[in-house]
Structure 1
Amino acid sequence: MAGESAVPSNRMSGAVHVAVPALARPGGHYSHAAVGGGLVFIAGQLPITPDGERLAEAAFEVQVAQTLANVQAALLAAGSGIDKLLQVRVYLDDIANWPAFDRIYAQWAGPSRPTRAVVPTGPLHFGFKVEVEAIALG
Protein backbone atom coordinates (compact mmCIF):
# COMPACT_ATOMS: atom_id res chain seq x y z
CA MET A 1 0.00 0.00 0.00
CA ALA A 2 2.63 2.45 -1.07
CA GLY A 3 1.89 6.14 -1.29
CA GLU A 4 -1.12 6.25 0.99
CA SER A 5 -1.72 6.53 4.68
CA ALA A 6 -2.98 3.27 6.13
CA VAL A 7 -4.08 3.51 9.75
CA PRO A 8 -5.08 0.42 11.74
CA SER A 9 -8.54 1.15 13.10
CA ASN A 10 -8.63 -1.88 15.36
CA ARG A 11 -5.41 -3.77 16.00
CA MET A 12 -7.33 -6.81 17.25
CA SER A 13 -9.36 -7.18 14.07
CA GLY A 14 -6.60 -6.20 11.68
CA ALA A 15 -8.85 -3.68 9.94
CA VAL A 16 -6.97 -0.92 8.16
CA HIS A 17 -8.60 2.28 6.93
CA VAL A 18 -6.86 3.73 3.90
CA ALA A 19 -6.54 7.45 3.20
CA VAL A 20 -6.33 7.98 -0.56
CA PRO A 21 -4.25 11.05 -1.43
CA ALA A 22 -5.47 10.92 -5.06
CA LEU A 23 -9.05 11.64 -3.91
CA ALA A 24 -10.74 14.58 -2.25
CA ARG A 25 -11.04 14.14 1.52
CA PRO A 26 -14.14 12.22 2.58
CA GLY A 27 -17.10 14.51 3.19
CA GLY A 28 -18.18 12.61 6.29
CA HIS A 29 -16.99 10.22 8.97
CA TYR A 30 -15.72 7.39 6.74
CA SER A 31 -12.69 6.16 4.81
CA HIS A 32 -12.52 5.83 1.04
CA ALA A 33 -11.20 2.29 1.51
CA ALA A 34 -10.80 -0.27 4.24
CA VAL A 35 -8.80 -3.49 4.17
CA GLY A 36 -9.42 -6.54 6.31
CA GLY A 37 -9.44 -10.30 6.02
CA GLY A 38 -7.81 -10.18 2.60
CA LEU A 39 -10.58 -8.00 1.20
CA VAL A 40 -10.71 -4.36 0.13
CA PHE A 41 -13.93 -2.42 0.65
CA ILE A 42 -14.36 0.75 -1.39
CA ALA A 43 -16.84 3.29 -0.03
CA GLY A 44 -19.42 4.71 -2.38
CA GLN A 45 -17.57 6.98 -4.77
CA LEU A 46 -19.18 10.01 -6.36
CA PRO A 47 -18.24 12.23 -9.30
CA ILE A 48 -15.96 14.49 -7.27
CA THR A 49 -12.57 15.49 -8.66
CA PRO A 50 -9.38 15.07 -6.58
CA ASP A 51 -9.46 18.80 -5.83
CA GLY A 52 -13.01 18.53 -4.47
CA GLU A 53 -15.01 19.84 -7.42
CA ARG A 54 -18.49 18.31 -7.49
CA LEU A 55 -19.50 17.41 -11.03
CA ALA A 56 -23.27 17.37 -10.42
CA GLU A 57 -23.90 19.60 -13.44
CA ALA A 58 -21.63 17.58 -15.76
CA ALA A 59 -22.96 15.20 -18.40
CA PHE A 60 -23.78 11.70 -17.18
CA GLU A 61 -20.81 10.21 -19.05
CA VAL A 62 -18.42 12.66 -17.38
CA GLN A 63 -19.85 11.81 -13.98
CA VAL A 64 -19.41 8.08 -14.62
CA ALA A 65 -15.83 8.49 -15.84
CA GLN A 66 -14.86 10.50 -12.72
CA THR A 67 -16.64 8.09 -10.39
CA LEU A 68 -14.90 5.05 -11.88
CA ALA A 69 -11.55 6.87 -11.78
CA ASN A 70 -12.18 7.45 -8.06
CA VAL A 71 -12.96 3.75 -7.51
CA GLN A 72 -9.75 2.82 -9.31
CA ALA A 73 -7.67 5.29 -7.27
CA ALA A 74 -9.07 3.85 -4.03
CA LEU A 75 -8.41 0.28 -5.20
CA LEU A 76 -4.80 1.09 -6.09
CA ALA A 77 -4.17 2.93 -2.81
CA ALA A 78 -5.42 -0.14 -0.94
CA GLY A 79 -3.10 -2.48 -2.86
CA SER A 80 -5.75 -3.86 -5.19
CA GLY A 81 -6.96 -3.17 -8.71
CA ILE A 82 -9.76 -3.57 -11.22
CA ASP A 83 -8.59 -7.10 -11.97
CA LYS A 84 -9.21 -8.08 -8.33
CA LEU A 85 -12.78 -6.78 -8.12
CA LEU A 86 -15.30 -9.24 -6.69
CA GLN A 87 -18.44 -7.13 -6.53
CA VAL A 88 -19.53 -3.68 -7.70
CA ARG A 89 -22.69 -1.87 -6.64
CA VAL A 90 -23.93 0.96 -8.81
CA TYR A 91 -26.56 3.49 -7.79
CA LEU A 92 -28.19 5.48 -10.61
CA ASP A 93 -30.59 8.36 -10.22
CA ASP A 94 -32.41 7.17 -13.36
CA ILE A 95 -32.41 3.59 -14.70
CA ALA A 96 -32.65 5.06 -18.21
CA ASN A 97 -28.92 5.82 -17.79
CA TRP A 98 -28.09 2.12 -17.40
CA PRO A 99 -27.08 1.48 -21.06
CA ALA A 100 -24.68 4.45 -21.07
CA PHE A 101 -23.25 3.39 -17.71
CA ASP A 102 -22.77 -0.21 -18.87
CA ARG A 103 -20.94 0.91 -22.02
CA ILE A 104 -18.47 3.11 -20.06
CA TYR A 105 -18.11 0.51 -17.29
CA ALA A 106 -17.29 -2.28 -19.76
CA GLN A 107 -14.43 -0.22 -21.23
CA TRP A 108 -13.16 0.64 -17.74
CA ALA A 109 -13.39 -2.91 -16.36
CA GLY A 110 -11.88 -4.53 -19.45
CA PRO A 111 -11.67 -8.30 -19.07
CA SER A 112 -12.61 -8.14 -15.37
CA ARG A 113 -16.20 -9.28 -14.82
CA PRO A 114 -17.04 -8.91 -11.11
CA THR A 115 -20.56 -9.51 -9.88
CA ARG A 116 -22.60 -6.34 -10.07
CA ALA A 117 -25.85 -4.81 -8.94
CA VAL A 118 -27.35 -1.71 -10.54
CA VAL A 119 -29.87 0.02 -8.29
CA PRO A 120 -32.13 2.85 -9.47
CA THR A 121 -32.45 5.23 -6.54
CA GLY A 122 -33.99 8.50 -7.60
CA PRO A 123 -32.09 11.62 -6.50
CA LEU A 124 -28.58 11.06 -5.13
CA HIS A 125 -26.55 13.23 -2.74
CA PHE A 126 -25.65 16.70 -4.12
CA GLY A 127 -27.72 15.99 -7.26
CA PHE A 128 -25.24 13.44 -8.65
CA LYS A 129 -26.41 10.90 -11.20
CA VAL A 130 -24.17 7.97 -10.14
CA GLU A 131 -22.44 6.42 -7.13
CA VAL A 132 -20.30 3.26 -7.15
CA GLU A 133 -19.01 1.08 -4.31
CA ALA A 134 -16.94 -2.11 -4.57
CA ILE A 135 -15.35 -5.09 -2.87
CA ALA A 136 -12.09 -6.57 -4.14
CA LEU A 137 -9.30 -8.90 -3.14
CA GLY A 138 -6.36 -7.26 -1.42
Structure 2
Amino acid sequence: MKSVINTANAPAPIGPYSQAIATGGLLFVSGQIPMNPVTGEIISSDIKAETKQVMENIAAILSKADVSFADVVKTTIFLTDMQSFAHVNEVYGTYFTDKFPARETVQVAALPKNVNVEISVIAVKS
Protein backbone atom coordinates (compact mmCIF):
# COMPACT_ATOMS: atom_id res chain seq x y z
CA MET A 1 0.00 0.00 0.00
CA LYS A 2 1.19 3.51 -0.71
CA SER A 3 0.34 6.77 0.98
CA VAL A 4 0.48 10.19 -0.62
CA ILE A 5 2.35 12.83 1.37
CA ASN A 6 1.26 16.40 0.71
CA THR A 7 1.95 19.65 2.57
CA ALA A 8 1.14 23.28 1.87
CA ASN A 9 4.65 24.09 3.17
CA ALA A 10 6.20 22.89 -0.09
CA PRO A 11 5.25 23.78 -3.66
CA ALA A 12 2.21 22.02 -5.05
CA PRO A 13 3.04 19.59 -7.86
CA ILE A 14 3.05 21.21 -11.31
CA GLY A 15 2.05 17.99 -13.03
CA PRO A 16 0.49 14.56 -12.44
CA TYR A 17 2.68 13.51 -9.50
CA SER A 18 2.72 13.69 -5.70
CA GLN A 19 5.13 15.61 -3.49
CA ALA A 20 6.07 12.28 -1.95
CA ILE A 21 4.93 8.67 -1.65
CA ALA A 22 5.42 6.51 1.45
CA THR A 23 5.44 2.76 0.89
CA GLY A 24 7.16 -0.25 2.38
CA GLY A 25 9.02 1.78 5.00
CA LEU A 26 10.44 4.13 2.37
CA LEU A 27 9.63 7.72 1.48
CA PHE A 28 10.17 8.82 -2.12
CA VAL A 29 10.26 12.62 -2.41
CA SER A 30 9.71 14.03 -5.88
CA GLY A 31 12.26 16.46 -7.26
CA GLN A 32 11.96 19.86 -5.65
CA ILE A 33 12.78 23.11 -7.39
CA PRO A 34 13.50 26.54 -5.87
CA MET A 35 9.87 27.63 -5.73
CA ASN A 36 8.52 29.52 -2.74
CA PRO A 37 5.48 27.50 -1.63
CA VAL A 38 3.59 30.58 -0.40
CA THR A 39 4.07 32.95 -3.33
CA GLY A 40 4.80 30.49 -6.14
CA GLU A 41 7.81 32.65 -6.98
CA ILE A 42 10.88 30.96 -8.43
CA ILE A 43 13.98 31.87 -6.43
CA SER A 44 16.67 32.70 -8.97
CA SER A 45 18.85 35.30 -7.24
CA ASP A 46 21.84 32.97 -6.95
CA ILE A 47 22.51 29.25 -6.86
CA LYS A 48 23.02 29.19 -3.07
CA ALA A 49 19.64 30.83 -2.45
CA GLU A 50 18.06 28.47 -4.99
CA THR A 51 19.57 25.42 -3.28
CA LYS A 52 18.46 26.63 0.15
CA GLN A 53 14.86 26.96 -1.08
CA VAL A 54 15.01 23.46 -2.59
CA MET A 55 16.31 22.01 0.66
CA GLU A 56 13.66 23.86 2.70
CA ASN A 57 10.98 22.44 0.42
CA ILE A 58 12.38 18.96 0.99
CA ALA A 59 12.53 19.61 4.74
CA ALA A 60 8.82 20.50 4.77
CA ILE A 61 7.89 17.29 2.97
CA LEU A 62 10.11 15.17 5.21
CA SER A 63 8.56 16.79 8.28
CA LYS A 64 5.03 16.08 7.05
CA ALA A 65 6.05 12.41 6.71
CA ASP A 66 7.55 12.39 10.23
CA VAL A 67 11.11 11.86 9.02
CA SER A 68 14.17 14.11 8.84
CA PHE A 69 17.33 14.57 6.82
CA ALA A 70 18.94 12.00 9.14
CA ASP A 71 16.59 9.42 7.57
CA VAL A 72 17.57 10.25 3.97
CA VAL A 73 19.46 7.38 2.33
CA LYS A 74 19.70 8.59 -1.29
CA THR A 75 19.64 11.92 -3.11
CA THR A 76 19.81 12.96 -6.72
CA ILE A 77 20.87 16.47 -7.69
CA PHE A 78 20.15 17.82 -11.15
CA LEU A 79 22.06 20.92 -12.29
CA THR A 80 21.89 22.89 -15.50
CA ASP A 81 25.52 23.92 -15.00
CA MET A 82 28.05 21.68 -13.28
CA GLN A 83 30.08 24.82 -12.51
CA SER A 84 27.50 25.41 -9.75
CA PHE A 85 28.38 22.12 -8.03
CA ALA A 86 30.61 23.57 -5.29
CA HIS A 87 28.03 26.20 -4.29
CA VAL A 88 25.18 23.68 -4.29
CA ASN A 89 27.27 21.21 -2.32
CA GLU A 90 28.11 23.88 0.28
CA VAL A 91 24.43 24.56 1.03
CA TYR A 92 23.33 20.92 0.64
CA GLY A 93 25.98 19.81 3.14
CA THR A 94 24.53 21.98 5.92
CA TYR A 95 21.40 19.80 6.01
CA PHE A 96 23.27 16.58 6.85
CA THR A 97 25.47 15.95 9.90
CA ASP A 98 26.86 12.44 9.46
CA LYS A 99 26.11 9.14 7.78
CA PHE A 100 25.65 11.09 4.59
CA PRO A 101 23.24 9.63 2.03
CA ALA A 102 24.33 8.06 -1.23
CA ARG A 103 24.12 10.60 -4.03
CA GLU A 104 24.65 11.38 -7.65
CA THR A 105 24.82 14.77 -9.30
CA VAL A 106 24.11 15.13 -12.99
CA GLN A 107 24.10 18.01 -15.42
CA VAL A 108 20.99 18.31 -17.55
CA ALA A 109 20.06 20.48 -20.51
CA ALA A 110 17.01 22.02 -18.79
CA LEU A 111 14.76 21.73 -15.74
CA PRO A 112 11.10 22.61 -15.11
CA LYS A 113 10.35 26.35 -14.95
CA ASN A 114 13.92 26.95 -16.26
CA VAL A 115 15.41 26.57 -12.78
CA ASN A 116 19.08 25.75 -12.22
CA VAL A 117 18.74 23.02 -9.57
CA GLU A 118 16.35 20.22 -8.66
CA ILE A 119 16.85 17.65 -5.90
CA SER A 120 14.97 14.45 -5.09
CA VAL A 121 15.46 12.21 -2.05
CA ILE A 122 14.61 8.79 -0.70
CA ALA A 123 14.28 8.34 3.08
CA VAL A 124 13.71 5.38 5.39
CA LYS A 125 10.55 5.62 7.49
CA SER A 126 10.85 3.71 10.75
Q: TM-score range by the shorter chain?
A: over 0.9
Aligned counterpart, 2:81: 94
Larger Rg: 1
Matched, 1:108 2:103: no
Aligned residues: 124
- Distance in 2 of aligned mates of 1:94 and 1:24: 23
- Distance in 2 of aligned mates of 1:114 and 1:23: 22
Name stretches of at least 5 consecutive residues in structure 1 with no aligned partner. Answer: 1-13
- Distance in 2 of aligned mates of 1:68 and 1:86: 15
Percent identical:
25
Name stretches of at least 5 consecutive residues in structure 2 with no aligned partner. Answer: none
Q: Report matched runs for 1:1-138 at 5 Å.
A: 14-51=1-38, 52-55=40-43, 57-138=44-125
In the alignment, is the contact (CA less than 8 A) between 2:10 and 2:58 conserved in 1? no
- AA aligned opposite 1:58: S
Deviations along 1:90-131, one digit per CA (max 9) or x if unpaired, are 000001111111111111222240000001112222110100
In the alignment, is the contact (CA less than 8 A) between 1:42 and 1:133 conserved in 2? yes
- Distance in 2 of aligned mates of 1:106 and 1:44: 18
Q: TM-score, normalised by structure 1?
A: 0.85
- Distance in 2 of aligned mates of 1:70 and 1:112: 21
In the alignment, is the contact (CA less than 8 A) between 1:34 and 1:78 conserved in 2? no
Q: TM-score, normalised by structure 2?
A: 0.93
Higher relative contact order (CA 8 A, sep 6+): 2
- Distance in 2 of aligned mates of 1:112 and 1:72: 17
- AA aligned opposite 2:85: W
